[in-house]
């Protein structure tokens, strides 16, 4: 099966600092990756669609200058939370779509739990 690895699994950072989360497809190429956010005891909400070699597409209400997404290769997308604040504390999870295939499910990483203190 296809494996998506997220790093780190959890991170604690101080308010005002930036945090980078990596989403890597280990055994397949992913032209498109998706970033979701899940607040405690809530559902997963799509934040943005990450496209290799082009700008990410952000969902309404998501600040693109705060959540920087870079998809520089076919196997890696990064999400950087800039100037993090306690309200950014959440569970961030990515999924990757296999390039050149249709009719497959999205493959999810294991998620990153961010705590901003």
Partner 1 sequence: AQKVTQAQTEISVVEKEDVTLDCVYETRDTTYYLFWYKQPPSGELVFLIRRNSFDEQNEISGRYSWNFQKSTSSFNFTITASQVVDSAVYFCALSLRSGEKLTFGTGTRLTIIP
Contact string 1-40 vs partner 1 (x = CB under 8 A) = -------------------------------x-x-x----
**DSSP 8-state class, residue 42:** S
Residue 74 touching partner 1 (CB under 8 A)? no
Nearest approach in angstroms of CB 25 to partner 1 is 12
Residue 62 touching partner 1 (CB under 8 A)? no
Binding-site ranges for partner 1 (CB under 8 A): 32, 34, 36, 41-46, 49, 91, 93, 95, 97-98, 101-106, 108-111, 113
């Amino acid at each position: 099966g296809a494996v998506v690895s997220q790093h780190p699994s959890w991170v604690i950072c101080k308010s005002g600092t930036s945090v980078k989360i990596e989403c890597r497809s280990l055994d397949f190429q992913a032209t498109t990756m998706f970033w979701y956010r899940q607040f405690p005891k809530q559902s997963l909400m799509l934040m943005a669609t990450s496209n290799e070699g082009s700008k990410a597409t952000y969902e309404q209400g998501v600040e693109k200058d705060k959540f920087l997404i870079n998809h520089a290769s076919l196997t890696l997308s990064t999400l950087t939370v800039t100037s993090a604040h306690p309200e950014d504390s959440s569970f961030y999870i990515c999924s990757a779509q296999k390039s050149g295939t249709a009719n497959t499910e999205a493959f999810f990483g294991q998620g990153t739990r961010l705590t901003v203190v």
